[in-house]
Amino acid sequence: MKSVTVVAHPNIALAKYWGKRGGDGNVPAVPSLSVTLSGMSTTTTVTFDDGLAGDELVLNGAIVGDRPLARVTALLDVVRREANIGAHARVVSRNDFPTASGLASSASGFAALALAAVRAAHLDWSRPRVSDLARRSSASAARSLFGGFVELDGGEGAPGLALPVAGPDAIDLRVLVCVATEDAKLISSTEGMRVTQETSPYYAAWLTEGPLLCARIRDGVLAGDFRAVGECAERSALAMHACAMAAGVVYVSGTTLAALAEVRAMRALGIDAYATIDAGPHLKCLVTSQSMHDAKTRLARVPGVVRILETSPGPGARVLEEGTDR
Ligand code: DP6
């Protein structure tokens, strides 16, 4: 068995995935379109080892059990079955940004884990197949196997496949991540989606609106139209959060709303800036390279913004190191 180390970047959905189709495979109820971001990364090493009594997970230097380990084992079980191996694995993973707090650590985490596990088990799988494996653990992770702008399909009849739409340079885009807290979020995306699906009076409207916005964002990306993409991305985020909030699922904080007000104030001044928000309080501001400096200065003054990460469209998950067979 060999040891394989992979680096993967989180992705930020411009068109949000929120809600599952039902049935097996963790297929989304709506299509989504994201951008993979360099500037934040997860590095994961997987080693299958006959000497281990069970799978081990070390996350950011600490041994982790319970649900995070169970999710890792579920992915490893698929790989073991396909590769016909019995050995348990040691998984050592590190994020250079806050974990489980709405900054897409599960996207980069499961993308890195899927690729590292497949390669460590000597499986010669295509990218889409590795992406399909990652989606089963966390749907947004399917997108981080690819770089640039990536669409993940969803809804009735969709295979649940992520595919690249355009390379990292398709639009002049930078993403300023306004970190509002270093803490983990209170409601996981999976749980937030479940409650939304079961109880939001606006869920049916979201199922109509989400795909329309996704198609407009795809067109905007292909046309290199920053403003069209920014406008629809902000709408997608607000529609998702409105739908979730109506079910009592609230991820935004006062800091998120203050940052949103600042983004809108900037637009009124002619600065190219749009907002998107995921399952956590951190606002992500979409800017052009030209508007980045002004936007960053202004967002840094928003009360509650702890720090700002500068990110830009980047590559998909890739192998950093493959150790020798033992
Ligand atoms: C708001 O991919 O974390 O970031 O499939 O249940 O693991 P599971 O959910 P996850 O949800 C991501 C939700 C989102 C929007 C998005 O990334 O599209």
CB 15 within 8 A of CB 217: yes
- The 10 Å Cβ neighbour count of residue 187 is 18
- Tens of pLDDT, residues 8-31: 999 999 999 999 999 999 999 999
What is d(CA 166, CA 274) in angstroms, rounded to the nearest whole number? Answer: 20
pLDDT tens digit sequence for 168-194: 999 999 999 999 987 766 799 999 999
Question: How would DSSP label each residue in 166-214?
Answer: E-TTSS--EEEEEE--SSPPSS-HHHHHHHHHHH-TTHHHHHHHHHHHH
Residue 323 has pLDDT above 70, yes or no: yes
pTM above 0.85, yes or no: yes
Question: Is the CB–ligand 1 distance for residue 41 below 6 Å?
Answer: no
Q: With 70 as the cut, is the pLDDT of residue 99 above it?
A: no
Mean pLDDT of 277-287: 96
Higher per-residue pLDDT: 134 or 325: 134
Cβ–ligand 1 contact at 139 (below 6 Å): yes
Q: Is 13 a pocket residue for ligand 1 (Cβ < 6 Å)?
A: yes
Q: Evaluate if residue 250 carries a pLDDT over 70.
A: yes
Residue 100 in this model has a pLDDT that exceeds 80: no
For residue 245, what pLDDT is reported? 98
Does residue 99 line the site of ligand 1, with CB under 6 A? Answer: no
Q: Is the pLDDT of residue 226 over 60?
A: yes
User: What is the chain's Cα-based Rg?
Assistant: 19
Instruction: Answer yes or no: is the C-beta of 140 below 6 A from any ligand 1 atom.
Output: yes
| pLDDT for the residue numbered 111 | 98
Distance CA 246, CA 240 (A): 10
Cα end-to-end distance, the chain, whole Å: 6
| 291 pocket-lining for ligand 1 (C-beta < 6 Å) | no
Cβ(105) to ligand 1 under 6 A? no
Ligand 1 centroid to Cα of residue 138, in Å, is 7
* 41 or 185, greater pLDDT: 41
Burial of 124 (0-12, 13-18, 19+ CB in 10 A): exposed
Q: Is the dihedral of CA 246, 184, 141, 15 positive or negative?
A: positive
Atom of ligand 1 nearest to the CA of 11: 17
The pLDDT of 123-133, averaged and rounded, is 97
pLDDT at 102 over 80: no
User: What is the signed CA dihedral for 139, 140, 146, 151, rounded to 10 degrees?
Assistant: 90
26 within ligand 1 shell (Cβ under 6 A):
yes
Which residue out of 9, 14, 17 has the highest number of ligand 1 atoms within 8 Å of its CB and is therefore the one to mutate? Answer: 17
Query: Tokens 């709408």 sit at which residue?
Result: 235
How far away, in angstroms, is 284 Cα from ligand 1 center? 15
State whether the beta carbon of 144 lies less than 6 angstroms from ligand 1: no
Q: What percent of the chain has pLDDT over 90?
A: 89
